[in-house]
Each structure stands twice: as structure tokens, then as C-alpha cells.
A = this chain, B = another copy of it.
């Protein structure tokens, strides 16, 4: 049997937890609240998961893995620097739009991870941002980009995407496609030579 997993109760618990961690934050979400949204008693949760912390770990490292897998894909594709950066921005916008709960929890609640997971996450994140910086650096050196500081451009790009939180909270008069294209253009135009 290939990777075709069916959604287990554990998956349901994690999905509901992701939504609640996003809405109320990790510390403010109680296992009793979570149990109620799943439709069982709090004690019964522990037949499917080990602890509250384990749920947070699963949410965060699943999302982090998706980011890393996509990054590898971009690196292995033959594209000019500006296209690589565009592909990475679009990916993060997609995560924020389509995988909102999980991605938001990773970005906003990671500091509630316990050791050794906290250190692992911080290390992974540092590696990720350094790889992105290296791509920007390459573009600056080859003069495809304006002479920006790669570190600052990386911060600007990665944090911009967090603003899409407010689109989710809004009445959504703007389409996801418009949102994506406008944000990508703003950030890319800010890097390109003209």
C-alpha cells in the first residue's frame, strides 16, 4: 500500500488544534477546549497523542518540512535569480492563503516549542533564511538585482507574507490571485533594476 493514508483521529485532533492554536495561541488553548471541538472528553485525547507539546511539534515540523522540500525544488530548477525569488515568495503566499492554520502556527507559536525541538527549529529556520540570503546575494553579485543587503531583503520578503493574516480576518473583497500578484510585484519590483 503506497502513501495513501486515511485521515485518522489523530489527524483530526491535530487539525482542530492547529485552528485553535492560531485563534487563541498555544498557551491559551486548553486540552478541554480541544477535546470539546473534537467531540470527546479531555482524557480521551491521550489515547491518540502523547501531550499538548507533541501536537505543537507535529504542526510546526510538518509545515517546516514543506518549506524545505519546496526550497530544494526551487534550487534544483534552472531559473534566473529573480524567478527563484519570485517562486519562493509565491510559495509563502500560498502557504499563508491555503495552509493558514499550520503556517500561521509555525510562524507565530514556534517559541512555545520545548527543548530539544526549539533548538532544532531555530537551527532549521536559520539554515532556511541563509539559503534565501545566498540566492539574493548571488543576484546582487551578478547585477541582476539592485545592490541591496541580502539579510534585510530576506527579512522584508518573509515577514511581508504575515500581513495576509488580515486578509483572512477581512471580508475578502480581494481575490487570492490579486493578493498574490500584487504582493509579489511589490517585493520583486523593489529588488529589480529598471
The answer to whether A186 and B153 touch (CB under 8 A), given A159-B163, A194-B194, is yes
Question: Assembly of this chain: how many copies?
Answer: 2
Tell me the complex Cα distance, A159–B179, Å: 14
Output the nearest chain B residue to A146 by Cβ-Cβ distance: B189
Output the nearest chain B residue to A193 by Cβ-Cβ distance: B194
Pair A161/B159 contact, Cβ less than 8 Å: yes
Partner of A183 from the list B27, B152, B185 (CB cut-off 8 Å) is B152
**A191 at interface by CB-CB < 8 Å:** yes
Chain A positions 81-114 with a Cβ under 8 Å from a chain B Cβ:
108, 111-112
Most central of A152, A182, A190 by chain B CB within 10 Å: A152
Pair B163/A178 contact, Cβ less than 8 Å: no
**A40 at interface by CB-CB < 8 Å:** no
Tell me the complex Cα distance, A137–B148, Å: 27
The answer to whether A167 and B155 touch (CB under 8 A), given A149-B174, A190-B190, is yes
**A134 at interface by CB-CB < 8 Å:** no
Known contacts A148-B185, A156-B160; can you find 15 more A-B pairs with CB under 8 A? Answer: A24-B111, A25-B112, A28-B112, A129-B166, A146-B185, A151-B174, A152-B182, A153-B186, A155-B166, A159-B162, A160-B160, A162-B162, A186-B191, A187-B190, A189-B190
